[in-house]
Amino acid sequence: MEAAGASDNRPMIKNKTLAAWLAFLGGPIGLHRFYLFGFSDWLGWVWAIPSAVGWYGVQRVQQFGVDDHWSWVLIPFLGMSIAASALNAIVYGLMDKERWNTRFNPTGPAQASAGQTRWLTICAIVCALLIGTTSLMASLAFGFQRYFEYQIEQARDISQ
């Protein structure tokens, strides 16, 4: 008779669609890294730091207004974290089945259905492309706009 818990030693099959959605929705806090590599993945724990720094920048804008100089330095971290997570979702979603299964499901067959691209995978790619691009461009535009406005203010102060 099989011992209790013996079936728990099998490796978990990692689904490409779920990984793409986790990268898109929970990527800024590293959920996709924990799903694919486990809780011992140090990059999954570090992934949330730029998001937290950027979120602190958003809170500074709410507290001190848009003229706060630190906010235009910190907010792009959040935007780039969201954009990097969206890029991961796109890369995972576009990875072919054989490569996905070889990399993330090495004990299973290369043609396993866990690496198959489905309509939900395509939806994750499209959403990640839209939101990731928007987030990156908006955060860069905010940061550069505030930087150049600050430079103009400094030039005016010097010229007076």
For residue 10, pLDDT beyond 80: no
For residue 4, pLDDT beyond 70: no
Residue 3 falls inside a structural domain? no
Structural domain span for residue 114: 15-159
Rounded to whole angstroms, the maximal C-alpha distance in the chain is 89
Residue 70 falls inside a structural domain? yes
- Overall average pLDDT of the 46-62 stretch: 93
Residue 10 falls inside a structural domain? no
CA–CA separation, 140 and 60 (whole Å): 17
Pick from 18-22, 116-120, 149-153: least confident: 149-153
Which percentage of the chain shows pLDDT scores above 90? 56
CA–CA separation, 150 and 156 (whole Å): 10
Residue 9 falls inside a structural domain? no
Residue 6 falls inside a structural domain? no
Give the distance, in angstroms, between the CA of residue 16 and the centroid of all CA atoms in the same chain.
Answer: 15
On average, the pLDDT of the chain sits at 88
| 20, 62, 100, 108 from 112: Cα distances, Å | 17, 49, 9, 7
Residue 80 falls inside a structural domain? yes
Structure tokens at 144: 């550069």
Enumerate the H helices of the chain as residue ranges.
Answer: 16-26, 31-37, 42-46, 48-64, 71-94, 97-104, 119-159
Let me know: does 76 contact 54? Beta carbons within 8 Å: yes
- Overall average pLDDT of the 58-77 stretch: 87
* The pLDDT of residue 17: 94
Residue 2 falls inside a structural domain? no
Other Cβ atoms closer than 10 A to 127: 17
- Which pTM does this prediction carry? 0.82
Q: Give the model's confidence band at 1: pLDDT under 50 very low, under 70 low, under 90 confident, else very high.
A: very low
What is the tally of structural domains in the chain?
Answer: 1
* The pLDDT of residue 7: 52
